[in-house]
Amino acid sequence: MRTVITGGAGFIGSHLCERFLAEGHEVICVDNLLTGSRRNIEPLLGDHRFRFVEHNVSEPIEVDGPVDNVLHFASPASPVDYLMHPIPTLKVGSLGTHNALGLAKAKDARFLLASTSEVYGDPEVHPQREDYWGHVNPIGPRGCYDEAKRFAEAITMAYHRYHGVKTRIVRIFNTYGPRMRLDDGRVLPNFMGQALRGEPITVYGEGQQTRSFCYVNDLVDGIYRLLNADFSEPVNLGNPAEITVLQLAQEIIALVEGTRSTIIYKDLPQDDPKRRKPDITRARQLLGWEPVVERSEGLRRSLQYFRSVVK
């Protein structure tokens, strides 16, 4: 099997590269390193079945030879990144998805789109099910990411219906683990970095907004199962164990022994989702999948990694 992974040098993408190599695939990792890092894939470069191509997938993609799978994971994915790069984010969600779908169509390959829980926006339905259409501000500061992913889903379904491409769509909820960038702006690496440096931990609003954190190994297992399932509509993958942001801050302070960190509060950013929890009934029924790594264990593993990169 020969698998192309766009965004393969990113946090989730690099874990996918590892998993597909472990499953016996030849892997072609395509990434322009805007938010990904060569460091994430360095251990793989010595494997003759792995090839790294530095390329912006918003430009046409060319791959010699047969391709069995195309996984489109290229995109800035944290608020810090997509607010800094709004136009590349919109381009990779639209032009990049179009190009990746074109490659899958030309090679008669399966295609899997990395979508996001952000397609639900600040949801009015809880927990979020795949048949909920969302509550998104298209012209707000987060719209560049939310609407790019909503468009990506739409064009993926159009290629499936019109061209018969074998497509899959995964809606990824908050995911964490080794290789997250400490400065990517997401809540968990923010808190870990602040606690390790003994800085105040920044909680926005009163900290009562909720998130559901899935360890990256669980997510990757769900993605692998989804690719091999015969189902074209979106599937939520995430951990339904809901927690407030304030509770997470308290757990991390307790985990980082000797930290001097205390909690400070700042204003809630515009359009920040108040609640986030996946309904994973579809994943359970279709894929036989649910998370197995407890948050306490996942946080412990993540802390080991963040200790090695904190400055």
Known catalytic residues? 145
In degrees, rounded to 5, the angle at the alpha carbon of residue 301 between the alpha carbons of residues 298 and 306 is 115
Q: What is the CA radius of gyration of the chain?
A: 19
Q: Distance (Å, rounded) from C-alpha 174 to C-alpha 113?
A: 16
Pairing outcome for strands 110-116 and 167-172? parallel
| DSSP-assigned letters across all residues of the chain | -EEEEETTTSHHHHHHHHHHHHTT-EEEEEE--SS--HHHHGGGTT-TTEEEEE--TTS-----S--SEEEE--S--SHHHHHHSHHHHHHIIIIIHHHHHHHHHHHT-EEEEEEEGGGGBS-SSSSB-TT---B--TTSTTHHHHHHHHHHHHHHHHIIIII---EEEEEE--EE-TT--TTS--HHHHHHHHHHHTPPEEEETTS--EEE-EEHHHHHHHHHHHHTS---SEEEES---EEEHHHHHHHHHHHSTT----EEEEPPPTT--S---B--HHHHHHH-----S-HHHHHHHHHHHHHHH--
Q: Distance (Å, rounded) from C-alpha 224 to C-alpha 23?
A: 10
CB 273 within 8 A of CB 122: yes
Structure tokens at 90: 């919109």
